[in-house]
Chain A
Amino acid sequence: MATLNQTISDAQGHASLVRRNKNQDILIAGLGMLILVIAISTLLAMFLDLFITGLPRLQDPDFYMSFPSRKAEQAGILSAWVGTILVMIVTAAISIPLGVAAGVYLEEYAGSNWMTDLIEINVTNLAGVPSIVYGLLALGLFIYAFGMSETVLVAGLVLSLLILPVIIVSTREAIRSIPEAYKEAAIGLGADQWQTTYAYILPAARPGIITGAIVGLSRAIGETAPIITIGALTYIAFLPNAPISGDFPFINFDWITSPFTVMPIQMFSWVSRPQAEFQINAAAAGVVLMVLTLMMNAIAIYIRYKVRHKD
């Protein structure tokens, strides 16, 4: 009898335990959902607000194909979006190879000594330095010390500096997440460090590295402060020379040394105007900038998807 009672009370104990755990699950799931809804609806509300405000200009094809103008209804973002894309190309071309190389070095080659520790601490700290400080650095170093002018190249350089820590850290994390088994398999076959890294570790780490690079570039695309600091112009009524032309040698790099403006600067200059019409332009430019960023993220997701399903 005693055992039976014991069993029953145990069963009741279990039932209440299970109930409590289930309630906890529901609570956590509900909380997560709530946070998600708040985050997404904030983003959507912002985007919609911009979209509705900017709609009149967004519908106008001339908006995308015109230079800035003193008249709000004629002003466009041609030089801004071209500038943004060119600056992003330079930034990507500099920061991705450098950042990945630095990450690979720190993770695979560097021994663990005080030098590496120092570099590591610095890299992590650099990720938290305000962007305007990078702007001041670029102003002092590239513009004054090296005598460069406010060109696409300098903008690309400063944005590269800005996002290098992001790319380095994410490269290291991507490499670290690769199972030691791949490395041992390659080393066990007689591969040297570089063969192992290049042929086996980097391909396996590619999705993580690409994600890091895109996160970095997404940050760079919206940066205004460092670019204003180096003295980028807000009124550009011409385009840099096209990189590809019909004449020999077909490709030129004049655009790298060309003055430029970018989307955030264009927005900033419009927002600071008193006229209400320019606010519409700014909103429309904001929508375009967000679409550009989302497109970059979409490309990253697509690449990751491809990579994941190819192997």
Chain B
Amino acid sequence: MTSFSKSIGMMKNVSTTAEPVATKRTHSAPPPASAGQEDTWLLEPEEELRARVSDLEFWYGDGTQAIQKLNMPLVDKRVTALIGPSGCGKSTFLRCLNRMHDLYKGVKYSGEITLMPENVNLIELDPMVVRLRVGMVFQKPNPFPKTIYENTIAGLRIRGIKKRAVLDEMAEKSLRQAALWDEVKDRLHQSALSLSGGQQQRLCIARALAVQPDILLLDEPTSALDPIATARIEDLLNELEGQVTILMVTHNMQQAARISNYTAYMYMGQLVEFNETDALFTRPKCQRTEDYISGRFG
């Protein structure tokens, strides 16, 4: 209750219909009679956090503001999905978390992304330090034109790890984690480009996992894949729950519902609702969320 009331302080126009915080995928509280009355809703999770985004704002080099006063917790070792219509800023937000925007000129951040438990503001760190700790998997599988093995350990090489035994061990471990080991163990030294699209994407996940990131960002990781490959990635993400903190952008609401513990709905660069996935999809607090998930717009 205490954490919940804390979140209320961070919101505008929030009524005080208090409700016990539900644990993952259980409905401990009955749906409120009038769902969709709030303007914005930010659940304060009771679980341990890995990061907290406070009043984040972001501008592109041309001056367009893509993120406005965004507040959101990121729960440790859980999967959080970001949903919202195209152009709502979800990928932009995702890329703030590993400072990918810094590749391009003139971008500007304000606010804080605090990494827990160290309490460092990611916006003030050197972008390269951030990227060493926050991994990313992109929309289109992008393995390097190198062998499967070299792709898996690419991040370790970048960190200057040279010991063969360590590299081999980490390669196997992360390929197993990415549920790819059995398919590639006999051809580790073949080109990664010989893999299918779905395998390539799992390789990219293995590559990101090999460096044991604090947070793993996934930017619509299955949008370029067929349904079977998508299902495998989703299984994999379900298995990673409890091991890695994952923030994933998805266009597919069913996918968000299937694999995430928490879901954030963004619209026009703002966070509308952050809630447990089940709650967000079954009893959305905001009218705008309901409109979106029920397909009334977007």
Q: Determine which of A181, A184, A191 lies in contact with B158 in the assembled complex, contact meaning CB atoms within 8 Å.
A: A191
Q: Determine which of A111, A182, A191 lies in contact with B142 in the assembled complex, contact meaning CB atoms within 8 Å.
A: A182
B144 in the interface (beta carbon within 8 A): yes
CB pair B158–A311 under 8 Å, yes or no, is no
Which chain A residues border B128 with CB–CB below 8 Å?
190, 192
Q: List 8 A-B contacts (CB under 8 A).
A: A111-B105, A185-B143, A188-B138, A190-B132, A192-B128, A195-B158, A199-B158, A204-B145
- Going nearest first, the 5 A-B pairs with the smallest beta carbon separation are A190-B132, A181-B142, A188-B136, A189-B155, A190-B131
Other contacts beyond A190-B131, A200-B144, A311-B191: 17, CB < 8 A: A111-B105, A181-B142, A182-B144, A183-B103, A184-B136, A185-B142, A185-B204, A185-B207, A187-B100, A189-B207, A189-B208, A189-B211, A190-B128, A190-B211, A192-B128, A199-B158, A204-B145
B225 in the interface (beta carbon within 8 A): no
A186 in the interface (beta carbon within 8 A): yes
Considering only CB atoms and an 8 Å cut-off, how many residues of chain B contact the other chain? 29
Which chain B residues border A204 with CB–CB below 8 Å?
144-145
B193 in the interface (beta carbon within 8 A): yes
Of residues 272 through 311 on chain A, the ones whose CB sits less than 8 Å from some CB of chain B are 311
CB pair B157–A184 under 8 Å, yes or no, is no
A203 in the interface (beta carbon within 8 A): yes
B174 in the interface (beta carbon within 8 A): no
Question: What is the bound-complex CA distance between A186 and B207, given in angstroms?
Answer: 10
Question: What is the bound-complex CA distance between A190 and B158, given in angstroms?
Answer: 7
B135 in the interface (beta carbon within 8 A): yes
Which chain A residues border B105 with CB–CB below 8 Å?
111
Question: What is the bound-complex CA distance between A261 and B245, given in angstroms?
Answer: 68
B159 in the interface (beta carbon within 8 A): yes
Question: What is the bound-complex CA distance between A179 and B143, given in angstroms?
Answer: 11
B177 in the interface (beta carbon within 8 A): no
Closest to B141 in A: A181
CB pair A311–B145 under 8 Å, yes or no, is yes
Q: Determine which of B140, B146, B147, B208 lies in contact with A181 in the assembled complex, contact meaning CB atoms within 8 Å.
A: B140
CB pair A185–B131 under 8 Å, yes or no, is no
Which chain B residues border A179 with CB–CB below 8 Å?
142
Question: What is the bound-complex CA distance between A303 and B211, given in angstroms?
Answer: 34
A193 → chain B, closest Cβ, in Å? 9
Which chain A residues border B204 with CB–CB below 8 Å?
185
Q: Is the interface of A mostly helix, strand, loop or mixed?
A: helix
Given contacts A184-B100, A311-B191, contact A189 B142 (CB under 8 A): no
Contact with B along A162-195 (1 / 0, CB 8 A): 0000000000000000010111111111111001
CB pair B135–A188 under 8 Å, yes or no, is yes
A174 → chain B, closest Cβ, in Å? 14
Considering only CB atoms and an 8 Å cut-off, how many residues of chain A contact the other chain? 20
CB pair B138–A184 under 8 Å, yes or no, is yes
A110 → chain B, closest Cβ, in Å? 13
Looking at A181, A188, A200, A204, which has the most chain B CB atoms within 10 Å of its CB? A188
Of residues 100 through 153 on chain B, the ones whose CB sits less than 8 Å from some CB of chain A are 100, 103, 105, 128, 131-133, 135-136, 138, 140, 142-147
CB pair B191–A189 under 8 Å, yes or no, is no
Given contacts A199-B157, A311-B191, A311-B193, contact A185 B144 (CB under 8 A): yes
Given contacts A190-B128, A195-B158, A311-B191, contact A185 B138 (CB under 8 A): yes
Contact with A along B88-100 (1 / 0, CB 8 A): 0000000000101
Given contacts A182-B144, A204-B145, A311-B146, contact A187 B138 (CB under 8 A): no
Which chain B residues border A199 with CB–CB below 8 Å?
154, 157-158
A197 → chain B, closest Cβ, in Å? 12
Closest to A188 in B: B136
B191 → chain A, closest Cβ, in Å? 5
Question: What is the bound-complex CA distance between A112 and B147, given in angstroms?
Answer: 35
CB pair B158–A189 under 8 Å, yes or no, is yes
Of residues 185 through 212 on chain B, the ones whose CB sits less than 8 Å from some CB of chain A are 191, 193, 204, 207-208, 211
Question: What is the bound-complex CA distance between A305 and B105, given in angstroms?
Answer: 37
Closest to A311 in B: B145
Contact with B along A106-125 (1 / 0, CB 8 A): 00000100000000000000
Question: What is the bound-complex CA distance between A32 and B105, given in angstroms?
Answer: 44
CB pair B100–A190 under 8 Å, yes or no, is no
Of residues 202 through 239 on chain B, the ones whose CB sits less than 8 Å from some CB of chain A are 204, 207-208, 211
Looking at A185, A189, A199, A203, which has the most chain B CB atoms within 10 Å of its CB? A189
Question: What is the bound-complex CA distance between A66 and B208, given in angstroms?
Answer: 63
Closest to A193 in B: B128
Closest to A307 in B: B145
B53 → chain A, closest Cβ, in Å? 19
Question: What is the bound-complex CA distance between A199 and B100, given in angstroms?
Answer: 19
Question: What is the bound-complex CA distance between A111 and B106, given in angstroms?
Answer: 12
CB pair A184–B103 under 8 Å, yes or no, is yes
Question: What is the bound-complex CA distance between A88 and B179, given in angstroms?
Answer: 52
B298 → chain A, closest Cβ, in Å? 27
Which chain B residues border A192 with CB–CB below 8 Å?
128
Given contacts A200-B144, A204-B145, contact A186 B154 (CB under 8 A): yes
B91 → chain A, closest Cβ, in Å? 12
Question: What is the bound-complex CA distance between A181 and B137, given in angstroms?
Answer: 11
